[in-house]
Structure 1
């Protein structure tokens, strides 16, 4: 299922910062985190909450937390997905954050009963997300969500059809396919490697 946030006023403002050419390094990383924090609110609908006693300023009260044993696992895809994933992670108490390269080291026990949230900055061809989705599905989590800052509409719609039980939360849909290189590559802009020989 596709949950598209492209037309939300606040999301448009947040995504605008990530698209500005002069923004790079830590400032661009923080813009990605802000989008992740906002998307975490959408992903939270998949979580199971339970009542818990809290110490309120007026005395003991009832609050909520993510149900113990069902805390989400956030998987950052590629290096560019890291900062959006950090934004999601900072907004979901008691969640875990792993890199996509570590997915094969997870076993059934930490994943069973939990939601897995796969996070990438850009979905273009869909190849990277497809590979991670297949690996995560094999671990049999309770539910799977994909979070992306931007996705190429045509390929994302194909992924939605291919993975009907996965929730895709996207900050912005694009009607053009685009693969950056050097100064136009999201990862290179984030990590300050736009002039490195293997980026150019």
Structure 2
């Protein structure tokens, strides 16, 4: 699990505790999800390449560090990834946006694609892929594969909670993709849901029923 980065920050943990709480209403859930997405995006972009440029402040000229390349493409795995990506868009407001639509069969737990929309910049900028839950790893591995096929030279995967089974499966399928998460949970239950988890992120985010 060398590709796994569990972000240790008390403000992140505080938000995650409220996000997990079954009593948290949908509107508050969406807000928390976006805030968590912003924190995780900051961590996922920590190693972006930088360069030095000369600027002039009101008092003097100086050398200052800036991004060496344009911001990576932000890609949401529909639909729950939208709420998480909102935080990424706050941190990287100039970044192009893409979407991968996957649905998981509740019996086989295998994903199937129903949509792929990717900006051409993904071929030069790479991507940050957002999906709140890394459970079995099937959907995550499939989503990463779709983004690679679209031409992304490098990908970072951002999720809120991950199960060991999902982390292992994604690492086996795509060992070059680092994972940034707020928590590595205990395990999957018999339905493929993360324990203790936070329930169905999509339904809780948008106030729908599974």
Instruction: Give the corresponding residue for 1:44.
Output: 45
Instruction: Give the corresponding residue for 1:186.
Output: 201
Deviations 1:15-64 (A, max 9, x none): 11211112122211111111111111211134223334556343555444
Q: Which runs of 5+ in 1 are unaligned?
A: none
**C-alpha deviation, 1:190, in angstroms:** 1.1
> Given the alignment of the two structures, is residue 165 of structure 1 paired with residue 176 of structure 2, yes or no?
yes
Q: Secondary structure at the match of 1:45?
A: coil
Once residues 142 and 38 of structure 1 are traced to their aligned partners in structure 2, the CA distance between those partners, rounded to angstroms, is 24
* 1:22 to 1:111, Cα distance in 2 relative to 1, 3 A: same
Instruction: Give the corresponding residue for 1:106.
Output: 118
Q: Secondary structure at the match of 2:162?
A: strand
Instruction: Give the corresponding residue for 1:86.
Output: 86
Once residues 46 and 86 of structure 1 are traced to their aligned partners in structure 2, the CA distance between those partners, rounded to angstroms, is 21
Deviations 1:105-160 (A, max 9, x none): 437x4222212111001111222211111111223323210000011112212211
Q: Secondary structure at the match of 2:87?
A: helix
Once residues 207 and 90 of structure 2 are traced to their aligned partners in structure 1, the CA distance between those partners, rounded to angstroms, is 23
Instruction: Give the corresponding residue for 1:131.
Output: 142
Q: Which piece of structure 1 moves more, 40-49 or 141-150?
A: 40-49
Residue-pair matches, total: 190
* 1:192 to 1:162, Cα distance in 2 relative to 1, 3 A: same
**Alignment TM-score, normalising by the size of structure 1:** 0.82
Q: Which runs of 5+ in 2 are unaligned?
A: 102-113
Once residues 17 and 9 of structure 2 are traced to their aligned partners in structure 1, the CA distance between those partners, rounded to angstroms, is 12
Once residues 8 and 72 of structure 1 are traced to their aligned partners in structure 2, the CA distance between those partners, rounded to angstroms, is 24
Instruction: Give the corresponding residue for 2:155.
Output: 144
CA RMSD of aligned residues (A): 2.5
Once residues 193 and 120 of structure 1 are traced to their aligned partners in structure 2, the CA distance between those partners, rounded to angstroms, is 18
Residue 122 (structure 1) aligned to one of 133, 138, 145: 133
Once residues 202 and 32 of structure 2 are traced to their aligned partners in structure 1, the CA distance between those partners, rounded to angstroms, is 13
